[in-house]
Structure 1
Amino acid sequence: MHPWLSALLGGVLIGLAATWLLWANGRIAGVSGIVDGIVRRSSWTEWGWRAAFVFGLVLAGGVAMHVVGQRALSPASWPVLVVAGLLVGYGTTLGGGCTSGHGVCGVGRLSKRSIVAVLVFMATAIATVFVVRHVLGAAA
């Protein structure tokens, strides 16, 4: 399977899952908000669907890794992964949501706040790649 085809398939599945969650539950598929509801110990019905959603993400990732034959989660060390996770958590708090919530769900609902957030995410990513590749000279 071509890489662009698997990316397209993954994007379609994410869009369908986000649409289904909104239609079936009236909930937005922003992962940071879903995890926040688990951590804050919401009611059992709320906790249940949130836990099922996160479990499904982990399960689907594991199945995808098995299908493509990838054995390692990341080449980074565990301390780097922990620090990265904490920084992502801080960033989602600072940004009022995560990229999935803003990009997939917010833009799809034409939320002005989400459109601005996605533009900031993209500009930051572009600037970071430029600095890492062209200023610091790191390999791709």
Structure 2
Amino acid sequence: MSSLLLPLLGGALIGLSASLLLLFNGRIAGISGIAGGLFGEMKGERGWRLAFLGGLVGGGLLLRVVWPETLGTSHAPGSGWLVAAGLLVGVGTRLGNGCTSGHGVCGLARGSRRSFVATLTFMATGALTVFFVRHVLGSAG
């Protein structure tokens, strides 16, 4: 498959999964909300949430085994960077009342102004962070 078609296929699959979750479950496919809901006390919610998150992880692992070059290089940053990145994502998700998938995929598709502003903020912050880490701190990690 052409490398130009892979992002299109990935985007179509993300859109399809978000649409199916909304159609059949009435839920928005925001990963932070799905994961956060695992710790709540909502009856009958745990199963579909675990299945959704398991599919995300399992799909990536399967792709890594079957077609490893699609996931890029195997360079992994140090554990300090991973911990810092995870904490910053968690804080940003709480401050933004949702994650990039909830706002960027589902919120924009619904025409939410709040999601538009949140997505612009996510993208600008990500770009500034990459610039700062690579050019100010001088790290490729």
The answer to whether TM tops 0.5 is yes
Letter in 1 for 2:68: G
Match of 1:5 in 2: 5
Relative distance call for 1:81 and 1:126 in structure 2 (3 A) is closer
2:18 is the alignment partner of 1:18 = yes
Q: Normalised by the size of structure 2, how large is the TM-score? A: 0.84
User: 5+ unaligned residues in a row in structure 1: which ranges?
Assistant: none
User: 5+ unaligned residues in a row in structure 2: which ranges?
Assistant: none
Relative distance call for 1:137 and 1:4 in structure 2 (3 A) is farther
Q: Per-residue CA shift, 1:104-132, capped at 9, x if unaligned?
A: 00000001100110111122223334444
Name the % identity: 55
Match of 2:47 in 1: 48
Relative distance call for 1:93 and 1:46 in structure 2 (3 A) is same
Shift of residue 96, structure 1, vs aligned partner:
0.5
Report how many residues are paired: 139
Q: Normalised by the size of structure 1, how large is the TM-score? A: 0.84
Q: Per-residue CA shift, 1:54-73, capped at 9, x if unaligned?
A: 11111111111112226987
Relative distance call for 1:51 and 1:66 in structure 2 (3 A) is same
| Alpha-carbon separation, structure 1, partners of 2:83 and 2:120 | 27
| Alpha-carbon separation, structure 2, partners of 1:99 and 1:40 | 21
Shift of residue 137, structure 1, vs aligned partner:
5.4
| Alpha-carbon separation, structure 2, partners of 1:23 and 1:49 | 14
Query: How big is the alpha-carbon RMSD for the aligned residues of Structure 1 and Structure 2?
Result: 2.5
**Equivalent pair of 1:41/1:47 in contact (CA under 8 Å):** no
